[in-house]
Amino acid sequence: MNTPTILIVEDDHDISNLIQLTLQDAGFRTLQAYNGTSGLIQAREHAPDLVLVDLGLPDFGGDEVARRVRATNDVPILILTAIDDPEQKVSLLGVGADDYITKPFHADELVARIRVQFRHRDGAASVTVGLLKLERDKRMCTFADHEVRLSPREFDLLGVLARTPGRVHTREEIARELWGDDASIAANVIDVHVSNLRGKLRDVGAYGVIRTVRGVGFAVKDPAATARAAQGVA
């Protein structure tokens, strides 16, 4: 798997920098935002693998950031808060957070909580993006309840893209995910797999599910787009 990228949304620059160093030492990539607005923009533009957000931000709260991110994305969200209140925890989980960490916290605890989230995601039995569903244990793909018969490589490729809807994956990223360190995999090999995948999706009425960004790579469109695809709208 590629090195996960974590978005840190924290208005205190000292705390943000400390978290950044902790996460980088643990092997993660990081992005930083210092208010909710910037955090939402970065979440949309960079599609991080996890969002770590402080509850008390200068423009609006971390709970609102979680609610807005969760409306369009199933990325894991952890909220940092100075208040250790069970009722607040229930409230945060209700707006879309996956977990919360009470300040002050130990660096090891933070890293452990984050790794738990990634283990949960990696072990998920299925991935659903709109009308598209991948069931990993059955190695089955369906669109609007119609089975899409894929080769193992096509299934894995679609799984890479569907794991983070909307995020554009470069051909190099896809090659690393599917072939590891074998740098001999040519870009046109991936293009052929994507072309075959598109054809099989079209056969069940799924038009425009996979988006091509010229010169960059590929992405699975967001849930609304995959729903429209069932009606033949790209």
Number of domains the chain is built from: 2
- 132 or 183: which carries more pLDDT confidence? 132
At 105, which CATH number? 3.40.50.2300
Whether 234 maps to a domain, the answer reads no
Checking DSSP bridges between strand 5-9 and strand 29-33, what pairing results, if any? parallel
Checking DSSP bridges between strand 99-102 and strand 77-81, what pairing results, if any? parallel
CB-side neighbour CA atoms (13 Å) of 226: 23
Does one domain contain both 105 and 142? no
At 160, which CATH number? 1.10.10.10
Does one domain contain both 81 and 146? no
Does one domain contain both 70 and 175? no
Does one domain contain both 150 and 106? no
Does one domain contain both 70 and 110? yes
Which residue range forms the structural domain that includes residue 53? Answer: 5-122
Does one domain contain both 142 and 190? yes
Distance CA 160, CA 6 (A): 18
pLDDT, tens only, 135-189: 987 889 999 999 999 887 788 899 989 988 888 888 888 887 777 655 456 677 7
pLDDT, tens only, 42-86: 999 999 999 999 999 999 989 999 999 988 887 888 999 887 776
Q: Is the pLDDT of residue 233 over 50?
A: no
> 104 preceded by cis ω (within 30°)?
yes
Q: Is the pLDDT of residue 3 over 90?
A: no
Rounded to two decimals, the pTM is 0.55
Residue where a domain terminates, one of 91, 122, 153: 122
For 78, the 3-state DSSP assignment is strand
